[in-house]
Homo-oligomer: A and B are copies of this chain.
């Protein structure tokens, strides 16, 4: 079965719209964007549209491309401090002078320093060290959006991860780590592999559930997985001007559950970001 993430995101959108109007106070998502990036422009657009549809104000804070780490952290502190900003997110990746990393969405130490300027009470993306710690130790009421998205898909399809062999491909901060943390807490047998792993096929082939978040076009092919696998694609990259995932779309034929890119986990993750924001608004 191919998951329709767009449709699921619509369901959440409708229920959030009701909830927002019931709460009756203004909710605002502050989005910090440093410079311009054609790849992330698309993601921003989705957030603006979703916010608009559920009655949440999305306020852009645009900072110049050449902002220094210290300037950005100071500016962030101001933005976090503004009472009207219910939640604050930073559009990643940050420019090279702050995040001298090779991979598009790599999160280096300086980026983490910036992210740590967001207090958990205003952190719907859950990327600050404090939010990560609360989540990891079971004390967070909300989930990282990518985890919320996967959980939603699993709940809807009666997938119980307990005891299952789950292979997570990529150990990044946006996908691999939070997803692995959640799976471990759920009692799954979790294997995390990355570019250093000598025989990845050994681990993809053994997986009941496969979750990939690398960002490399068609990294996983149909011959690397077993029949009936649950295949969740959280990777996003561009190939020949098109947005593609980590999983070869042919995997859909072998998988019992398959999330495509685009239109799978992506729209659901945006929805979960706003769901988190509404939760934070209720408590503020």
Contacts and interface: CB of A to CB of B under 8 A. Distances in A.
Copies of chain A in the complex: 2
A137 B173 contact: yes
A118 B81 CA distance: 25
Interface residues of A, number: 42
A191 B190 contact: yes
A195 to B, nearest CB: 8
A203 interface: yes
Contact of A196 (B115, B132, B187, B193): B187
Interface stretch (A62-70, A123-131, A142-150, A214-222): A123-131
B191 A189 contact: yes
Contact of A184 (B116, B128, B177, B187): B177
Interface string A134-174: 10111100000000000000000000001101000001010
Interface in A166-222: 171, 173, 176-177, 180, 184-185, 187-198, 202-203, 206
A173 B132 CA distance: 14
A134 B137 CA distance: 13
Contact of A194 (B189, B191, B194): B189
A133 interface: yes
Interface of A: 107, 109, 112-113, 115-116, 128-134, 136-139, 162-163, 165, 171, 173, 176-177, 180, 184-185, 187-198, 202-203, 206
Given A132-B137, A190-B191, 6 more contacts: A112-B138, A130-B130, A165-B197, A165-B198, A171-B185, A189-B197
